[in-house]
């Protein structure tokens, strides 16, 4: 019979300070560290050591370690771990408190405090290398946890009507953070997403480019409209009803995924991944007129029948980005629709139904070509093959987050471009979210002799995928 060992009366007191710190670092939740600290004096000393080495290790374990971070909170600018301990406690407290907020508009001071921190976590992701030498992001782990534990995206009710003097729109900073954090919704196993106020999202995504432009002024993105598009596609791709079963059956490596590298300000556009999947939606001509004729008081009374996406159609797209200096034929008729060959983007001139198209000068084209990336592609939508040509143009920071790009693309079926300009084509204008893994925007028909306010249009979403399982290959495709 094995002899039972009696517990040591010394407990943790017989261990070294470093070993006690290693044990404490294995504790997952901060509240459990507080409880562990009360066990004995040795554990307390290991956590509260005067050099704050435990909290430095804890910070690097939980967050990406930004070079020079230890200078952010100390007036004396000295390298002290006390700064990291304070920074860790502040960030953890803000995230913990943020799980109780609604995040409907982001207008309150306490919600803005959380949004500022989430913005920092997004911008500072992918700093440093873990112990195995692989690039990874602790900040993304914290963002995923916050998405799961909070009401940032996963709501439990519809927003109430704004009171007097309250905004009736989402603050641009909160909208940008929601768009970035929406990447993580597709990483949550078994999520039955519930999108409230679907009628508002449906009304927004089918509005014309005149009434709901994608850009407010020079390169400023309408993040509220993009957020409505995201909510619209969440309903179909992640909803409990699994309305798009084809998407639900896709393997994980062919579903949307978060960014995989640091976000940077773009002076020049950068090529994206080669392989993409996506979907789009439309209404019948009659219902399109009906939804555009709704009054605000009629919102919520009707849900219209979206087409294409409800038919389980997921398109495949392959993009080939041209090297600088490589020419690409771009018909003038297409540029009249998409305005790709100008450096500045004024939505009021782009979507003005009475505007007169002015051909860009050679200097304007040269300036845009020096900053933009052009691409050609081909794809398969259900059983229909198509071809694409388009441009990527860099955008400025949106709500302090860098890395946005404008995408303009013409989808055509005829390889003869001279003949194609007179056939039915579809123009795509979208915004590439920072990180280059997702594109959201609007498509419209080009063969209709109508003003922009009358044209058939609808939302689309594209996401970067891997052609094969990355677990079975050493290097993912770019």
6 found inside a domain: no
Residue 459: which of 252, 253, 268, 291 has the closest Cα? Answer: 291
| Domain that includes residue 411, residue range | 275-471
Question: Stretch 148-163: mean pLDDT, rounded?
Answer: 89
Q: Is the pLDDT of residue 27 over 80?
A: yes
Residue 426: the pLDDT is 94
Decide if 217 is inside a domain.
no
Query: pLDDT for 7-25, tens place per residue?
Result: 555 667 777 778 888 888 8
**Same structural domain, 178 and 295:** no
284 in the same domain as 179: no
Strands 457-464 and 438-445, by their bridges, are: antiparallel
404 lies in some domain: yes
Q: Are residues 291 and 437 in the same domain?
A: yes
Tokens for 392? 């990527």
| % of the chain beyond a pLDDT of 90 | 48
Q: How far apart are CA 48 and CA 57, in angstroms?
A: 13
- The count of domains in the chain is 2
Give the pLDDT of residue 4. Answer: 57
pLDDT category, 45, cuts 50, 70, 90? Answer: confident
Same domain, 303 and 174: no
Angle at 222 between CA 219 and CA 232, to 5 degrees: 140
Q: Is the pLDDT of residue 59 over 70?
A: yes
Mean pLDDT score of the chain: 84
More confident residue, 47 or 304: 304
Better-scored residue on pLDDT, 13 or 423: 423
Residue 212 lies in a domain: no
Q: Is residue 227 part of a domain?
A: no
Q: What is the C-alpha to C-alpha distance for residues 11 and 7, in angstroms, rounded to an integer?
A: 8
Q: What pLDDT score was predicted for residue 16?
A: 79
> Do 177 and 297 share a structural domain?
no
135 and 284 in a single domain? The answer is no
Closest CA to 291 of 210, 227, 204, 224: 204
Specify the residue for token string 């900053």: 371
pLDDT at 118: 98
Do 282 and 420 lie in a common domain?
yes
Same domain (yes/no): 279, 177? no
Same domain, 179 and 313: no
Model pLDDT, residue 162: 77
457 in the same domain as 313: yes
Are 58 and 133 in contact by the 8 Å Cβ rule? The answer is no
What is the mean predicted confidence (pLDDT) over 78-87? 76
Highest mean pLDDT among 211-220, 360-369, 411-420: 411-420
* 69 has pLDDT over 90: no
In-domain check, residue 11:
no
Q: Is residue 280 a part of any domain in this protein? A: yes
- The 10s digit of each residue's pLDDT in 121-140 is 999 999 876 555 556 799 99
- Please give the pLDDT value at position 39: 81
Task: Flag whether 196 is in a domain.
Answer: no
CA dihedral in degrees (295, 169, 98, 159; nearest 10)? -10
Question: Is there a single domain that holds both residue 179 and residue 290?
Answer: no
Instruction: Write down the pLDDT at residue 1.
Output: 44
Q: What is the pLDDT of residue 299?
A: 76
Average pLDDT (139-162) is 93
Q: Which stretch of 169-183, 221-235, 292-306, 435-449 has the lowest confidence by average pLDDT?
A: 292-306
Residue 5 carries which DSSP code?
A: P
pLDDT beyond 60 at 353: no
Mean pLDDT of 264-274: 93
Cα 9 → chain centroid: 54
What does the pLDDT average to over 21-37? Answer: 87
**What pLDDT score was predicted for residue 143?**
98
Beta carbons of 309 and 244 less than 8 angstroms apart = yes
Contact 470, 476 (CB under 8 A): yes
| Range 463-476 average pLDDT | 71
Same domain, 145 and 294: no
The pTM assigned to this predicted structure is 0.89
Does residue 476 carry a pLDDT above 50?
no
Q: State pLDDT tens for residues 182-238.
A: 999 999 988 888 898 899 999 999 998 888 999 987 678 999 999 999 999 999 999
For residue 117, give the nearest of 94, 96, 97, 101 by alpha carbon: 94
Lowest mean per-residue pLDDT among 56-60, 276-280, 322-326, 407-411: 322-326
């Amino acid at each position: 019979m094995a002899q039972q060992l009696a517990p040591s009366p010394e407990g943790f007191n017989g261990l070294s300070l470093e070993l006690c710190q290693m044990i404490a670092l294995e504790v997952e939740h901060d509240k459990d560290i507080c409880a562990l600290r009360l066990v004995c004096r040795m554990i307390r000393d290991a956590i509260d050591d005067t050099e704050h080495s435990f909290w430095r290790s804890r910070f690097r374990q939980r967050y990406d370690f930004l070079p020079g971070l230890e200078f952010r909170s100390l007036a004396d600018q000295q390298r002290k771990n006390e700064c990291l301990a304070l920074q860790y406690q502040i960030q953890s407290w803000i995230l913990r408190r943020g799980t109780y907020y609604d995040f409907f508009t982001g207008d309150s001071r306490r919600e803005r405090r959380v949004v500022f921190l989430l913005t920092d976590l997004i911008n500072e992701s992918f700093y440093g290398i873990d112990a195995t030498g692989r690039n990874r992001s602790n900040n993304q782990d914290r963002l995923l946890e916050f998405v799961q534990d909070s009401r940032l995206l996963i709501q439990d009710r519809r927003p109430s009507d704004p009171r007097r003097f309250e905004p009736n729109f989402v603050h641009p900073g909160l909208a940008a953070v929601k768009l970035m954090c929406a990447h993580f919704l597709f990483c949550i196993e078994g999520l039955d997403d519930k999108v409230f106020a679907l009628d508002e999202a449906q009304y927004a995504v089918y509005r014309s480019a005149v009434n709901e432009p994608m850009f407010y002024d020079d390169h400023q993105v309408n993040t509220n409209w993009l957020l409505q598009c995201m909510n619209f596609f969440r309903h179909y791709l992640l909803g409990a009803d699994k309305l798009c079963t084809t998407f639900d059956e896709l393997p994980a490596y062919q579903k949307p995924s978060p960014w995989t590298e640091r976000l940077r300000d773009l002076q020049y556009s950068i090529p994206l991944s080669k392989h993409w999947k996506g979907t789009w939606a439309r209404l019948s001509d009659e219902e399109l007129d009906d939804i555009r004729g709704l009054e605000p008081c009629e919102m919520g009374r009707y849900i219209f029948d979206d087409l294409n996406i409800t038919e389980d159609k997921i398109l495949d797209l392959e993009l080939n980005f041209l090297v600088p200096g490589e020419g690409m034929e771009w018909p003038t008729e297409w540029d009249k629709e998409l305005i790709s060959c100008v450096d500045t983007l004024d939505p009021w001139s782009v979507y003005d139904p009475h505007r007169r198209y002015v051909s860009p000068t050679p200097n304007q084209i040269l300036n845009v070509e020096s900053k933009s990336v052009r691409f050609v592609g081909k794809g398969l939508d259900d059983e229909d093959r198509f071809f694409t040509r388009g441009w990527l143009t860099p955008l400025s920071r949106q709500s302090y987050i860098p890395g946005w790009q404008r995408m303009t693309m013409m989808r055509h079926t005829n390889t003869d471009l001279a003949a194609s300009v007179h056939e039915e084509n579809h123009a795509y204008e979208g915004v590439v979210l920072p990180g280059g893994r997702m594109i959201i925007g609007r498509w419209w028909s080009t063969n209709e002799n109508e003003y922009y306010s009358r044209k058939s249009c609808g939302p689309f979403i594209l996401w970067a995928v891997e052609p094969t399982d990355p677990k079975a290959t050493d290097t993912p495709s770019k």
